[in-house]
Amino acid sequence: MGGLGAILLLVAAPPAVAALMRLPSIGSRRLPRDLLACAAVASTVIGLAALLGGCPVLGRAERFEVSLGPLDPAAAPAGAAWSLAPAAIALVFLAIALRTRTLALVGLAGAHLFVEVGAASAQLAAAPEAAGRGGLVVDPLAATLLGVSVLVGGVIIVYALAYPPVHLAQRGIDPARAGSSVAWLLVFVAAMNLLVLADDLRLLIVGWELTTLCSVMLIAFDGDAAALGAGRRALAYGLAGGVALGAAEWLAGPNARLSGLLVDGGGTAPVAVPLVLGGAILAAAMKSALVPFQGWLLGAMVAAAPVSALLHASAMVNAGSYLLMRLSPAIADQEPLGPLVVLLGAVSFAAAALAALRQHDLKRILALSTVSTLGLTTAAAGIGSSAALSAGLLLLVFHAVAKALAFLSVGTLEQATGTRELEDLAGALRTAPLLAAPLAIAAATLALPPFGLTVAKWAIIEAGARNVAFVVLLALGGAAYLALWTGVVGRLLVRRRSGSVARGAAEPGVVASADEASPGAPTPGRRLPRRQLAAVAVLAVASLGGLVLAAPLAAWLTDPAARTVVGSGAGPGLAAGWSVALGTGGFEVPLVAGLLLAASVAAVLAAARVRGEAPAAYLSGAGIAARPGTLHRAPGGRTALARSGGFYWGGGTLAWGSDSDAAGVPNGSVGRPAALVGWVLVASLVTAAVLAAVLLGTAGPGAPG
């Protein structure tokens, strides 16, 4: 029974507080608003604890059905409301699309509305399910995702409380709107929780559409041209995913459940099962921004740092991976779909990592690395073995922590220095170590063994070793991924001779130290809010904790999660092959961790042996030039591609063509051939769904009833 209260806290409390925060009388005064938000975060954490107390799933492969009581979709009036809710959200989307006056968007929103209304009418026409079954399910998989969403999301929101005012002030927007931004973040977390807990498809879709809505609102929040453009693109991709998922729901038939789809299709006609799964895969690919649907996520970097962190780390993109993992056994059953998902993920992993190599905007680099990592989790879901799923989940967890850390620290750096260009921040680890170190820590945990990410990558390679194309793509992507983080940290680590020309003064925008903010930034970097630093510190500690935490997490959370999804018959989990003895294979985590520790100790000892200032750089016999010679600046004052200093692919021969215009704003990626293929897929799926629904409705064999 603790479950019910927990669910209510989890799903209902944040929106309530968020609604309160929209009230002008509260939003105008600073303290109560922050307190309210903190209370909301605390309530979700307590809710999570209570939920796990009521449904003990940690370390056990069990699932508990939880009912929402009178609000459960099995109950008659609530069921109708849940059925109609997606259509209502679709109406909101249509309104937004109409306001953008973009024909394509309006068309897409119209199609979305059509599909949602169709699905809703099918749900309403059918007899309600026998009451007594809960619409929510708590199992280790859901618990893992909830943990990520609530804990990482909570830290991000605490950080965000101080961020938007500065962010908005830097952009000349009324800081009073900061409250509503935090409110949207809270709703976002709640929607994600709903999505993860939902077993009934109607609940799932409500959560799904709400995350889309929140992301669009938050991306377009700043209201300038770039933000609105990015918001439009996010809306387009979100709508397309929504259409695919709505069509899938329509096809799956009334009262369909995720758990039902796994057991020979549940009540769904066998013909329709591949289509339903295809819709889900397509929707997940859009949500997770897999190549070729990465456009919206790259555009979303115009938003504030906490928004990016939430999108990339704890909420939005994880939804796609989660759905695929949940459906993994069913996907593996449908012959062409499983390998397709594996390939989709692997292509994303390699292409995004290679593309990231030629970027120099830190947020863009982070965005592409997100696409890359999610490709890997997707591939894990496609492989579908117990170890692969567990590894994918582990990857998801550690990626969430590291990526949240990375985004928040880039946000802090940007606030302090007014730039997020890698070339402008070259040497930041020397001049502003406190600000830049979190980013380096995030990079280390993303790239070094035996942190969770590398362990997961190792497990996924070993699980998918027999698929040659997959292994080749993984090897390429893995190398690019390693090179990417090495390159980024290498630039941050560059030493600049002290006593040379004060670069910050000589070149606007180039940062020499933390307290030397660029002109125009209203808040000098030296007074960063303590709450922000605390949030970053918590995430940094959590990231480094991955060294110790990976094994217990695998044993307590991800292995049981994989077992609940695929059953215990699908091979041993990850923890089984964990600290395996030498000579038998397996990731010798303690050993490698010891090695890493030994290397760190050696590094410290070596550094301690160095006395005094480093000698001047060797520069063709003369002393070092007095000015920073490696920074390349275009006439307009923006940083040009520093081909000699950094590491960039030239000319776009390897990665696909240039995807940003002169101002660094990504071009529309909708027109690209790859994306076109995706859109054609969406269109054909919708057509097939409608046709199938009509045919099944008339012929009757699969008709519910």
- Angle of the 433-447 helix axis to the 468-493 helix axis, nearest 10: 160
Q: How far is the CB of 584 from another protein (least distance, A)?
A: 5
The residue (of 617 and 691) whose beta carbon lies closer to another protein is 617
- Applying CB under 8 A, among 259, 518, 579, 667 the residue interacting with another protein is 579
Q: How far is the CB of 426 from another protein (least distance, A)?
A: 9
- Applying CB under 8 A, among 486, 658, 660, 687 the residue interacting with another protein is 486
Residue list 580-619, contact with another protein (CB under 8 A): 580-588, 590-592, 595-596, 598-600, 602-607, 609-619
The residue (of 58 and 448) whose beta carbon lies closer to another protein is 448
Encoded tokens for 672: 């690209």
Stretch that binds another protein, among 105-113, 199-207, 479-487, 526-534 (CB under 8 A): 479-487
The DSSP element (H or E) to which 138 belongs, if any, is strand 136-138
- Nearest to 348, CA basis, from 323, 324, 368, 328: 368
The residue (of 142 and 432) whose beta carbon lies closer to another protein is 432
Distance CA 656, CA 651 (A): 10
- Applying CB under 8 A, among 228, 340, 624, 681 the residue interacting with another protein is 624
- Applying CB under 8 A, among 476, 665, 670, 695 the residue interacting with another protein is 476
Residue list 337-356, contact with another protein (CB under 8 A): none
* 150 contact partners, CB below 8 Å, separation of at least 6: 10, 44, 45, 47, 48, 189, 193
Residue list 145-174, contact with another protein (CB under 8 A): none
Contact assessment for residue 217 and residue 185, using Cβ atoms and an 8 Å cutoff? no
Q: How far is the CB of 159 from another protein (least distance, A)?
A: 28
The DSSP element (H or E) to which 329 belongs, if any, is helix 328-333
Q: How far is the CB of 586 from another protein (least distance, A)?
A: 6
Stretch that binds another protein, among 189-197, 199-207, 408-416, 472-480 (CB under 8 A): 472-480
Q: How far is the CB of 393 from another protein (least distance, A)?
A: 20
The residue (of 245 and 474) whose beta carbon lies closer to another protein is 474
Give 66's strand partners: 136
Residue 117 binds to another protein (criterion: CB under 8 A): no
Distance CA 5, CA 309 (A): 29
Q: How far is the CB of 582 from another protein (least distance, A)?
A: 5
Q: How far is the CB of 309 from another protein (least distance, A)?
A: 25
The residue (of 31 and 610) whose beta carbon lies closer to another protein is 610
Can you say whether the dihedral through the CA atoms of 459, 463, 466, 471 is positive or negative?
negative
Residue list 372-401, contact with another protein (CB under 8 A): none
Q: How far is the CB of 429 from another protein (least distance, A)?
A: 8
Q: How far is the CB of 613 from another protein (least distance, A)?
A: 7
Distance CA 178, CA 168 (A): 8
User: What is the residue-wise DSSP string for 198-251?
Assistant: B-BHHHHHHHHHHHHHHHHHHHTTT-SHHHHHHHHHHHHHHHHHHHHHHHHHHH
Encoded tokens for 61: 């492969």
Contact assessment for residue 284 and residue 324, using Cβ atoms and an 8 Å cutoff? yes
Q: How many residues bind another protein (CB under 8 A)?
A: 81
The residue type of 355 is A
Distance CA 309, CA 504 (A): 28
Can you say whether the dihedral through the CA atoms of 443, 447, 448, 449 is positive or negative?
positive
Which position has the token pair 């949940």? 326
Residue list 489-528, contact with another protein (CB under 8 A): 489-491, 493-497
Q: How many CB atoms lie within 10 A of CB 184?
A: 21
The residue (of 467 and 558) whose beta carbon lies closer to another protein is 467
Stretch that binds another protein, among 51-59, 249-257, 374-382, 442-450 (CB under 8 A): 442-450
- Applying CB under 8 A, among 20, 448, 537, 665 the residue interacting with another protein is 448
The residue (of 466 and 530) whose beta carbon lies closer to another protein is 466
Encoded tokens for 199: 């077993």
Q: How far is the CB of 644 from another protein (least distance, A)?
A: 5
Residue list 450-469, contact with another protein (CB under 8 A): 450, 454, 457-458, 461-462, 465-466, 468
Contact assessment for residue 438 and residue 539, using Cβ atoms and an 8 Å cutoff? yes
